[in-house]
Structure 1
Amino acid sequence: MVAPSLAKVYMEVYGCSANVADAEVMLGLLKARGYEIVDNPKEADVNIVATCTVKTPTEHRMIHVISTLSKLEKP
């Protein structure tokens, strides 16, 4: 695993405003601990998808997003 001071993190956020707020908190905590937040999943060492799956169409879309990101072969 890459040390936090060297690790780059990408996050995609989907869902309600509460989920967006939670993701902002997560990003703030990661940044405070030395992780660099990047805007491109190809630049990241770690990709995070923050979502909820209250509705079936959202669940299917999130499975597609996660599948696409997993092809980058990053945690």
Structure 2
Amino acid sequence: MVLEEMVAHQARAYMDARDATRDALNQLRRTMPWQSGDGPVEASDLELEECQDHWRTQYSELFEVVDTSGESARRAFVR
């Protein structure tokens, strides 16, 4: 009986961690439109530059980038 109780305790801890991992991966996938499908999340998909490149491409279709002077850029950065 003690053996089965110890196994159940470890199994419960495993299931809690597994469920938390699954939920975290699902949340991560919702923020990663550049990673398609339900396939595995690859390490390269997790790079910050991958995220920035994706959104830079998406937003560049909406906005025109206008070069500004250093002072204008500084004021925009402060805002």
TM-score (norm 1): 0.29
> Larger Rg: 1 or 2?
2
TM-score (norm 2): 0.28
Greater share of strand = 1
Greater share of helix = 2
